[in-house]
Amino acid sequence: MTLDASLVGRSYPPSAVYEVGREKIAEFAAALGDPDPVYRDPVAARAAGHPDVIAPPTFAIVLSLGAGDVVLADPDVDIDYSRVVHGEQKFVHHRPVRAGDRLVATASIEAVRSVAGNDMLTTRVDLATEDGEPVCRTSAMLVARGSAS
């Protein structure tokens, strides 16, 4: 089985609004063992030039994981999820995600490839505020091992 090249460019409806909370950011920073005060203390964040506490650069994965499920649920995306591993991940930040953000995630298919019997699917998720301000673009490359054989 091979992923259909015509899937490239397919876009999915935007997600419901995700409201970024200070406690969730602090929880994520703690899970990385990162003591940086800009993740917890609004005063420290403002001193660093941010309107409120900001999230670690990889926090966007929380939203992009959920948004990417839309792609895997697409019946045209014929991929065996039990064989999927995370191959690559990229983040491009227009600005840091911060507490109080009301974000909408829009998923699309950026690339499909088949190499040495492995299917590779690159899903892009654009995060923007509900008012349309771009915040972050993420790309996840998933590899379905041996599914093309």
Partner 1 sequence: MTAVVRFADVEVGTELPGQVSRVTRADLVRYAGASGDFNVIHWNERVATEVGLPGVIAHGMLTAGLAARAVTAWAGDPGALVEYSVRFSRPVVVPDDDQGAEVVVAGRVAALLDDDRVRVDLTVTSDGAKVLSLARAVVQL
Nearer to partner 1, 2 or 58 (CB): 58
Q: Which of 76/100 has CB closer to partner 1?
A: 100
Q: Which of 6, 87 has the CB closer to partner 1?
A: 87
Nearer to partner 1, 34 or 76 (CB): 34
Q: Determine the Cα–Cα distance for residues 32 and 28; give it in Å rounded to an integer.
A: 7
Quote the DSSP letter at residue 54: B
- By C-alpha distance, which of 123, 148, 126 is closest to 137? 126
Looking only at residues 108 through 127 of this chain, which bind partner 1 when binding is defined by CB under 8 A?
none
Place of tokens 């019997």: 117
Shortest distance in whole angstroms from residue 24 CB to partner 1: 8
Instruction: Mark the segment that binds partner 1 (CB under 8 A) among 51-59, 72-80, 109-117, 126-134.
Output: 51-59
Alpha-helical runs (H) found in the chain: 22-31, 42-47, 60-72
Q: Which one of 21, 51, 57, 100 is in contact with partner 1 (CB under 8 A)? A: 57
Helix (H) / strand (E) element for 12: namely none
